[in-house]
Amino acid sequence: MQFRDLKKQYEVLKPQMDAAIARVLATAQYIHGPQVEELEARLAAYVGRKHCISCGDGTSALQLSLMAWGIGPGDAVFVPDFTFFSTGEVASAIGATPVFYDVLPDTFNADARSLEQAILAVQREGKLRPAAVAAVDLFGLSADYDAILAVAEKYGLPVLEDAAQGFGGVYHGRRCCSFGNTSITSFYPSKPVGCYGDGGAVFTDDDDQAALLRSLSVHGKGSFKYDNVRIGMNSRLDSIQAAVLLVKMDAFEASELRDVNTVAGWYNEALSDLPLDLPVVPEGCLSSWAQYTVKLPEGRDRNTLQAAMKELGIPTMVFYPKPMHVQKAFGPESTVIPCPETEKLCERVLSLPLHPYMEREQVEAVAAALRRCL
Ligand SMILES: *Cc1c(COP(=O)(O)O)cnc(C)c1O
């Protein structure tokens, strides 16, 4: 069994996909081909944002977003403790300091109360200037933006939505990538919508920010390519990836987002009698199921369980085994408050195989294996 069956997806999409890639090859417009602009317009319309700036990957999308706000040394960027490394890495990469706050135990997403405690702690210490808030739509589920935006507004901080895993998710009638001042996503192959390599995008409604992001992503260009008015980076989505993503978007909108929710529903039923905490999708939310993540009983040896599952042919993954605040790459100034919920989650989470082309029998097989191994 595949954890996320990208081969199967390609088999299904092969005719359209091969034709789309062949069109790029025939024109030899590998960079800035017409597919890039078409994709940007399509993505912006889909998530409900005015601007989409495509770029090389989700990590540079995050970094470009912080750069466009002029964030740098002395600035604190508040980051959930339970996320992929990138969300904090980009703050450090531009000389700022990520400051970690805790998440909620049921949704795995940003805890607005912990965020406020972290902001207050940074203010009290007086060494860093609170500069921005990052929130993550983990595993396909949007964070609680009503609560997060209220805290951010109270302290006058811009919000960066890291929807690398959240693309396609819905929160109170709005799609992920539409929350906060700037949002980003990733098209890494295994994300809800993935390309055949690396890719990413930044979204904003602000015209000036959009222009600045565009400049920063092309070596800080000014009025033309060889006029450079600021230090930027080289981060672009190539035409082949854009062509791939246009085909993927067709499938995502036509069936994949629906099907992945069907698979999650099968899991919820098949696992209901096991001693596991199943994923929670709050009222008014739709997940795009980047991961289906359960919590094992407290104290249960996860390594042994994973090995036993592997013996039965079932791949499982742990996202994430370590809280951000214990990562050696970050200094002690990144930890101003405790994050006990993240610490507990890192011990207990287990992600199961899930993708839109999964069949009910496969879900039953995972459940049967789990039942045996537990
Ligand atoms: C994957 C991911 C990223 C980084 O995206 P890349 O395209 O791999 O650079 C950032 N944040 C989160 C939460 C992610 O899951």
pLDDT at 172: 97
- Are 206 and 278 part of one and the same domain? no
Q: How far apart are CA 341 and CA 186, in angstroms?
A: 26
Number of residues written out for the chain: 374
- Are 162 and 281 part of one and the same domain? no
Q: Determine if ligand 1 sits within 6 Å of the CB of residue 164.
A: yes
Residue nearest atom 2 of ligand 1, based on CA coordinates: 164
Question: Which of 214, 248, 282 finishes a domain?
Answer: 248
Question: What is the domain extent for residue 203?
Answer: 6-248
- Are 216 and 106 part of one and the same domain? yes
Q: How far apart are CA 182 and CA 197, in angstroms?
A: 24
Residue 140 CA: distances (Å) to CA of 23, 171, 266, 293: 32, 11, 17, 11
Q: Determine if ligand 1 sits within 6 Å of the CB of residue 316.
A: no
pLDDT digits (tens, 9 = 90+) for 110-163: 999 999 999 999 999 999 999 999 999 999 999 999 999 999 999 999 999 999
- Are 362 and 273 part of one and the same domain? yes
- Are 85 and 222 part of one and the same domain? yes
Q: Determine if ligand 1 sits within 6 Å of the CB of residue 82.
A: no
Q: Residue range 212-237: average pLDDT? A: 95
- Are 238 and 287 part of one and the same domain? no
- Tell me how far the alpha carbon of residue 125 lies from the centroid of ligand 1, in angstroms: 31
Ligand 1 atom at minimal distance to the Cα of residue 136? 13
Q: Determine if ligand 1 sits within 6 Å of the CB of residue 137.
A: no
- Tell me how far the alpha carbon of residue 164 lies from the centroid of ligand 1, in angstroms: 5
Q: Determine if ligand 1 sits within 6 Å of the CB of residue 86.
A: yes
pLDDT digits (tens, 9 = 90+) for 285-340: 999 999 999 999 999 999 999 999 999 999 999 999 999 999 999 999 999 999 99
CATH value at residue 31: 3.40.640.10
Q: How far apart are CA 364 and CA 119, in angstroms?
A: 45
Using the predicted structure, report yes or no on whether residue 253 has a pLDDT greater than 90: yes
- Are 136 and 187 part of one and the same domain? yes
Q: Is residue 359 part of a domain?
A: yes
SS3 state at 185: strand
Q: Is residue 1 part of a domain?
A: no
Mean pLDDT of all residues in the chain?
Answer: 97
pLDDT at 339: 98
Using the predicted structure, report yes or no on whether residue 224 has a pLDDT greater than 90: no
Question: Which of 248, 270, 305 finishes a domain?
Answer: 248
Q: Residue range 246-257: average pLDDT? A: 98
pLDDT digits (tens, 9 = 90+) for 15-44: 999 999 999 999 999 999 999 999 999 999
Q: pTM above the 0.85 mark? A: yes
